[in-house]
Homo-oligomer: A and B are copies of this chain.
Amino acid sequence: MKTPNRRFKDEIYDQFSRIGKAVSSPKRLELLDILCQGERTVEILANETCLTIANTSQHLQVLKNSRLVEQEKKGLYVVYRPAPMVCQFLLSLRKVAENRIAEIEQIKNRFLEGKKGMEPIALDALIDRIQKQEVILLDVRPEEEFRAGHIIGALSVPLKELEFMLTKLPKDKEIVAYCRGPYCVLSVDAVLLLNEKGYHAVRLEEGVQDWHARGLSLASGQSPS
């Protein structure tokens, strides 16, 4: 191959690989996943990922240099946000990974094994039962995420507040809890707590993003409580 052509290809693939490098670190993938739930400050991201602040900041610089996140200074804080198309790309990566890497299913099963209420739920049946008010649908993510978009008919009960809201929930009705998606464990903890306290709770594996990706509509704003 002629050398100017080779040079061109090398330069082009070097650029493409910037995206690949950005998503080659598990911690950066986790950061991106969180950012796809809504913008965050460095400190919050550090907390959620169990990284030091400096380390988080460095990962964010890497993501910024590969143009996968944007930053904005808001007063004392720096707020990061995913760039357009990034969340979609991440979904595509996740889909390939789930499809190709058998270990993912294994890890999930090992984690959920022995826990009650973790069986997958059929979506269409669920939609039906929500409308008929046969079940109570709980969104156990932090309230701001609920406000940014949630499944129609869901109640916002952040995991942290669930303990104190127990009295308001009926023991005779089935409770379905959901959060960010299959790899978010907020709903797992919620279901465990509820079942322990004598409620009948199950987990909806799909999160808002998956819900939306299936063409199902979301609501946003305050919960009509």
Residues of A within 8 A of B (CB): 1-2, 4-6, 8-27, 29-30, 48, 50, 66-68, 83-86, 88-89, 92-97, 99-101, 103-104, 107-108, 111, 183, 185, 188-189
Contacts and interface: CB of A to CB of B under 8 A. Distances in A.
B20 A29 contact: yes
Contacts of A103: 15
Total copies of the chain:
2
Contacts of A94: 16
For the residues of A in contact with B, the DSSP-based class is: helix
Given A84-B99, A85-B99, A92-B89, A8 B50 contact: no
A185 B5 contact: yes
Contacts of A26: 10, 13-14, 16-17
Contact of A30 (B5, B9, B68): B9
Given A17-B23, A19-B97, A24-B24, A183 B12 contact: yes
